Amino acid sequence: MNAVFFNEYIQTSPRFMTDFTPWTLFVDTGIISVLLLLGKLMRVKIRFIQRLFIPPSLLAGFIGLSLGPHGFGIIPLSTQTGTYAGILIAFIFGALPLISQKAAKGDADNIGSMWAYSQAGMLLQWAFGGLLGLLVLNRIWPLNPAFGITMPSGYCGGHGTAAAIGQAFSQFGYDEILTLAMTAATFGIVAAVIIGLIIIKWGTKKGHTSFLANYDDLPHELQTGLLPGDKRESMGESSCSSISIDPLTFNLIIVAVIALGGYCISKTVSHFMPGFELPVFSCAFVVGIFIKKIFDKTRTSDYVCPQTIGHISGAFTDFLVAFGIASIKISVVIEYIIPLLILLVSGLIATLIYVLVMARKLMKECWFEKAIFTWGWFTGTMAMGIALLRVADPKMRSRCLDNYALAYLFIAPVEISLITFAPVAFLNGYGLVFTGICLAAGLAVLATAYIKGWFIRKQ
């Protein structure tokens, strides 16, 4: 069965013509899985891709976008790929409370400065994007008032937040926001990698790096993504006997139950309050916190493996990125290409300035390593930030992640609130108020850091 025949079969089969069926999901998942394997093979074999540290999920998404229904129409992906991204983000956010562990207590000033630096950067990026869209771009082009926040939702939030924001607006008929946010997330990941590696090379030449003397000394496994036998680690612990239930199944169903709980809460609220739709992922996050507290009280947490759930969440994230990029509508991107480029490039410049300037002001130790980590996070994903940190600090001696683990306990509620209330504010005409609050809050965080003495004062 050649590709043309298979494509015609899929398009003309009653199972795939109009109605969405379980077989549609089966075929879509299978196709994306093939593309993920192809992306991994490309990462292992192609030197150019290795040097850019491009993740296989990004490559799979690009292939699906170019050859799928929004591209040349060769690969028979359905039109539901954007919906998959919205569902997967509920699983990912539902797993977050189960993954978080109590980090070892470190220096309070280092944790405080990391919190202030990261929290202010997030808030100011949302404020910058929103104000640029409302006060500048929307006065030149007839754009959706929420056009500007597609940049921070894609940059600082990544494809997960882009899917969440896009789904919230899609419920009210603004489908273009999903495509624009996904495009911003994709653009951000590429920029995070390329510009991040340039920054690291510059840092080694200027002597700013604390642990990397030469960029060319990086171990080969970081480039290919394949670990040799002596560097492999266990994926988790088995807390259940496979005679009763497989440990992977046990951890997976916990995440699934949490995601379902979030969906039920969202639908219940919308039933009693028509027109008010709580995002499913936000509800799933709240349910996850509630379940985690119950598990801790009943000692059930002893049988839940955070490492296993972390890998489950990582698998969902890989599929989300691939499905999310494949769902981008190229026609919408072309329609908004000029204001979108202005928004995305301006966001990159503003983020780069903030990262390089404020890291020196707030980080007393290993400022460069912490700056490169937040650059990857602010423009791509948390995984991309960790990947860039491993390039600059292969043995993780900067304790950047240790400080961030504690700081994020205070950042997470703010991030969830931004994603939850941004669509509500813009859909009800309060976009300028929302961005103004973000700006004031970001400046207030920096003022707090100054008062607490976290800023580095010149001698």
150-157: average pLDDT:
89
Q: Give residue 402's pLDDT.
A: 67
Inform me whether the pLDDT recorded for 11 exceeds 60: no
Higher pLDDT, 438 or 391: 438
DSSP letter for 146, please.
Answer: G
229-249: average pLDDT:
78
Tokens of 90: 């509920």
Inform me whether the pLDDT recorded for 457 exceeds 70: no
Tokens of 362: 């707030």
CA distances from 217 to 223, 224, 394 (A): 11, 14, 10
Tokens of 146: 């929420």
Inform me whether the pLDDT recorded for 15 exceeds 50: no
Q: Give residue 433's pLDDT.
A: 95
Q: Give residue 119's pLDDT.
A: 94
Nearest to residue 307, comparing CAs of 261, 247, 245, 230? 247
Nearest to residue 314, comparing CAs of 158, 150, 122, 168? 158
The burial of 146, by beta-carbon neighbours within 10 Å (0-12 exposed, 13-18 middle, 19 or more buried), is given as: buried
Q: CA 340 from chain center: how many Å? A: 20
Provide the mean pLDDT of the chain: 82
pLDDT digits (tens, 9 = 90+) for 197-221: 889 888 888 887 776 656 555 666 6
Inform me whether the pLDDT recorded for 176 exceeds 80: yes
Higher pLDDT, 251 or 52: 251
Q: Give residue 234's pLDDT.
A: 74
Q: Give residue 253's pLDDT.
A: 93
The burial of 270, by beta-carbon neighbours within 10 Å (0-12 exposed, 13-18 middle, 19 or more buried), is given as: middle
Residue 323, CA atoms < 13 Å, CB-side half-sphere: 27
Q: Is the distance from CB of 327 to CB of 182 less than 8 angstroms?
A: yes
Higher pLDDT, 353 or 103: 353
CA 271, 276, 279 angle in degrees (round to 5)?
A: 95
108-137: average pLDDT:
92
| Dihedral in degrees, nearest 10, Cα atoms 26, 29, 33, 36 | 170
Q: Give residue 276's pLDDT.
A: 62
Q: Give residue 352's pLDDT.
A: 95
DSSP letter for 299, please.
Answer: T
Q: Give residue 459's pLDDT.
A: 43
Residue with tokens 């030469």: 214
Residue 38, CA atoms < 13 Å, CB-side half-sphere: 14
Higher pLDDT, 17 or 454: 454
Inform me whether the pLDDT recorded for 103 exceeds 50: no
Q: Is the distance from CB of 456 to CB of 364 less than 8 angstroms?
A: yes
Q: Give residue 14's pLDDT.
A: 38
Higher pLDDT, 94 or 352: 352
In the chain, % of residues over pLDDT 70: 85
Amino acid occupying residue 234: S
pLDDT digits (tens, 9 = 90+) for 30-47: 999 999 999 999 988 888
378-382: average pLDDT:
80
Higher pLDDT, 99 or 442: 442
